[in-house]
Structures are given as structure tokens and as C-alpha cells.
Structure 1
């Protein structure tokens, strides 16, 4: 199969990029493995005109609209490898077939590395969350905690009192600096240095956290910033340059979402230092427009 543009990743960023391209009459193939980063969340919030809709509903709607365009193709498959054939284009091998494309947009998201605490993953995306703008309103007016996993966790803890009474659990590793402590005190944030050892709850709602000294703290919502990495096997195969973001490595791109590799672009969480659904859509639009304009020079 041949196409002008191949997009790896069929969630918010990838489909937003595809929309710009098919409306420009370009042939687009989207390859999607069906495991988006947002699969743990039942609802998406803070996205203009889409507040409260599920990620799957948003994806289904986008696909139904894209499929009205004759130059759009959607393939459910796993990408195995990508080869840069220079003048012949990029050769993408999937579990279903091989595709040659002039341009490639990487939009497959990042890998999250969560703290290894029993019960945390069970509640991830429900009452253990990472972004107050995405899910914080639904946890308002509760006893809330921030599980420190990064030096910026103190900054996050200073934000959360707008949603409810907040405790920063430093885990004994991420102690606030003097200026941070002054702000946290001003904001009414409590500090707990004894590490959390277990998250208690029913799989949806957490009820408390167990601490290393055997005590227990009532809690109904917990924020944690996972460590992230965009450096998956495809990124490695292409040898895209990476850069540090506050939470981990992302793909280095310019203002047009072009990576360090010719004809390869990146969009969504894997190229954005700040990450949510709206930013993913925005970066997908930019990548799609940039690729469309680059094709006129081929």
C-alpha cells in the first residue's frame, strides 16, 4: 500500500492531524493499535464543546466524520518497524501489511511510569489522577492528596486547594524548598513525610491511604504526576532527537511539529511538554497543516 501521509496513533492528536490533511485532498492512512493513553479515563473534561464526553465517544465521532472523506483510511494494527528509504519514502511495517508514505506523523503518545504502590494502578484515571484541569472538578470538596513523584510535585500541591483540602505526601524524598514551603503554608497545604504504602478503595473511589508507620489517612482523591517517555521502539528506529520535559523525555520538534528526521513529524503528548486533550488536538492540527504545506514541495 502507498499513501502520501501515514499517521501512527488514532487518538486525539492523530485524528486531528488527519482532518486537516483529508480536507486538503491528501491521501492519509491512520494506523492505530487501540491502546491510547487516555483509555483509563471514563470521561474527558475541559475540552471546548466536548466536556464530559468519553475519550472513546470523541474518537468514534472523529472517525465517523473522517470516513466521509474518500482519501482517508483507518487501519487497526500494531506498527512493528519503520525504515527510512529516503527517495522512496518511509516504509512502515505493521502486523497487517506494509505501507510506503511520503510523510510520517508520530502520534502514539507516551508511556506512563507510575509509582509502584499497591492499589494505585487500580484507581488510575478514576480517583487517582494527574491533572486537575482534566478531572479535578469531579473530585471537588473532598480530602485530596498529592503523591510526590517529582520536584515539581510541590508546585502541583500548591494548586490543588482550589479543589479541596490538600495534603502533600512527600514520600520522604521530595521535601519542599523554603519558598515552596512558604507558598504551601499560605495555601493551607498539610505536609506528610511518612511514605504511602498502599491505596485503599473499591477500584473506582479511594477511601484512604496506608502509611509506612501503620497509620491510615482518609482520602478521596489523589494526584500523582507519572514519569513519561516518548522513546518507544519506532522513535528509536527513526533516531528522532529527544529533549527533556518536566516529567520525562519527549520528541524534539520545531514550531511546525517537524522532528529532527526529514519527513517525520510528531504530535500529541509525545511532543508536548504540557499535556491534555486540548493540547493534543492543537498539536495535531499544527502537524497536519505543516505536513500538508510541505507536500507541495515534493
Structure 2
């Protein structure tokens, strides 16, 4: 716990985006506080992929090393806490936490991620991030040439199928209800021998998070090695919206090319503001946010 209550920047969220932003700011001697509740969305994921130099490393190991490196910069501090509210004040912002602490900063960076809304399917949540995945770029290679399912419907299912069909020819779409596809999309599926099953799913049978069978409401079951799912999500933190940040129709915090939100002094990076959900993208966007916040300070103070 830090005794200091006033900072140049408060970063809410201390995983890949938040730590990356903190490193950029720490290297510019900015006084930074990272507030993190310790619940990254990929906490069940055993391996991170498609991140050069870190391919196959556990996400938790990447975050642990990143935190150790960032905290070597003496102007960066880290508290394990949950930010619960924020308000605009005369010289910046005040963030209140679950432990009844209040911190003030001139600028904010939200690296808070998103919360996936799990379907009410027994066994689904236990597999999420392990063998029930969202991204072919992050996990698809590991399921190449294997029996693969896609739990989705409509445009999301069609988009995922187009990406995954390059990795396996054993692909089945599970709409878990009436299919919603255009005639030309159905023809595309048929041309590639992609079966569409509309029967509702009741359970995922797995072994420690690794899918074995999908069980349907009619009692049938089908074996799979991996399953993609397009899930709805919500913002992990409602503080950006409460401060007036615009949320897009897709549910992301709206940012410009420099990770700046629609509220002056507030930036966002990582999964909360990008559909490209990966560790590599989070690190990149956090680095940009940190650099742009420092740029604002330079322009204001020089």
C-alpha cells in the first residue's frame, strides 16, 4: 500500500496494457500509480501465442516478469485493489477503491479489459481460455487439423468459419438454436463440407478444461478437440462511462489512433478498446497510451 495519494497518472488495470503504459511513463520519470484487482480475463489460459519472443509462455509468467521490470522504475507504484468509482475534479481526477482509499491524478489510463458473458452451458466456463477459445490467431495453430467446433451464429459464425477453415477441414458450426445465415453463406459452408447443427447444447464434457464432447439437448454428443465461441461481453469497469467516455455500439471504449478517449485527460488501452484481443496488441496499445500521455504532459509543461 502506498502512502502517496497524488500522482501524475493513475493506470487502472495492471496486466499487459497497463504495465506497458506504466513502463513508458516510468521511463519518462512520471509519477504513476497502477491499481489492479488481480483478475485478468485470460487467467485460465495456459499458454500465450502469437507474441514474438513469448510464444507459448504462460500469460501469468509474462505478467509477473513484466510487473517486476516495471516496478524497478522508482516513480511507478502498484497497489492490489479494485477501483470502484471516479470523478473529475479541478486539477484532474479522483479514483476511489474498494478499500476506501482515494487517489488523485492529472490523467487516467484505463486498461481494465472486458468481462465475457458465459452461456448457461454446463462445463463451458471451466473450458474457457483452455480449449474453448475466442481467437484463431491466439490459439488456432494448436488445434490445426483437428476436430473443431464453432459455437456462434450469423455473421460472427461465418467470420470465424472463414478464418478457422484455413486451419482444419474438420469444422462444425454449432448454433445452439435456429441458424441465421444468408443463402450464399450456407452454400459456402456446403462447398467446404462445414456442417451446421442447430440443436441446443446442454453440456461440455471435458477433462480439466480440455473439451472431449459437446452434449446436445436431445442426448446426442459429438467429439471435439477444440471449440471457438463468439461471446458477448461487458466493460470490466463502468468508471470510463461514468466519466463520460463514449462507448461504441460494439461495446468498446472509443479511442483515437493515440488511445485517447472522448474525455480530455483519459486514455484507454487493451481489450477494453480494441476488438484485437491478444497480449501482443495489449502491450502495443498500452505503450502508445503511455507515450501519448507523456506527450501531453510535455506539451503542457514545456
After TM superposition, give the deviation of residue 216 of structure 1 in Å: 1.3
Which residues in structure 2 correspond to 1:1-298 (within 5 Å)? 1-85=5-89, 87-96=90-99, 97-149=101-153, 151-164=155-168, 165-230=170-235, 232-245=237-250, 249-296=251-298, 297-298=300-301
C-alpha distance in structure 1 between counterparts of 2:32 and 2:178, whole Å: 47
Give the alignment's Cα RMSD to 1 decimal.
1.6
TM-score by length of 2: 0.92
| Pairwise CA distance, 1:199 | 0.9
Q: Deviations over 1:86-109 (max 9, x none)?
A: x32111112342211000000010
Does the 8 Å contact 2:154/2:181 carry over to 1? no
Tell me which stretches of 4 or more aligned residues in structure 1 moved more than 3 Å: none
Equivalent residue pairs, number: 294
59-68 or 197-206: bigger deviation: 197-206
Q: Any conservation in 1 of the 2:22–2:32 contact (CA below 8 Å)?
A: yes
Aligned in 2, Cα 1:150/1:236: closer, same or farther, shift over 3 Å? Answer: farther
Alpha-carbon shift at residue 149 of structure 1 (Å):
4.9
Give the Cα separation in 1 of the matches to 2:277 and 2:174.
23
Q: Are the structure 2 counterparts of residues 223 and 191 from structure 1 closer, same or farther at C-alpha, using a change threshold of 3 Å?
A: same
Structure 1 residue ranges without an equivalent (≥5) = none
Task: Provide the C-alpha distance between the structure 2 equivalents of 1:26 and 1:214, rounded to a whole number of angstroms.
Answer: 60
Q: Which runs of 5+ in 2 are unaligned?
A: none
Instruction: Give the superposition deviation at 1:115.
Output: 1.8
Normalised by the length of structure 1, the TM-score is 0.94
